[in-house]
Amino acid sequence: MGFTHKELERIKEIFRSDLDESASYERGISGEEIDKGIQWMRANVNIHHISASKIDILEKALKSKL
């Protein structure tokens, strides 16, 4: 089950500030930032309309990159 273009754009919006950190010691996304973003997504499905199963897939994919 893949993500639609609209879903990918929304995910980028949700995680953008965590991914675009300018300081070299903060570059990238941490496990804590992933957890906070995923938690927000699970609590706000009515805002972004990404299913729980896709959020699970996203969480696994992001955490595998740590």
Q: What is the pLDDT of residues 8-60, one digit of tens each?
A: 999 988 888 655 555 545 557 788 889 999 999 999 999 999 999 999 999 99
Task: Please report which helix (H) or strand (E) contains residue 7, including its range.
Answer: helix 5-19
| pTM flag (> 0.75) | yes
pLDDT at 17: 63
CA distance 31 to 37: 10
Smallest CA-to-CA distance from 29 within 60, 62, 5 is with 62
pLDDT at 24: 46
pLDDT at 4: 96
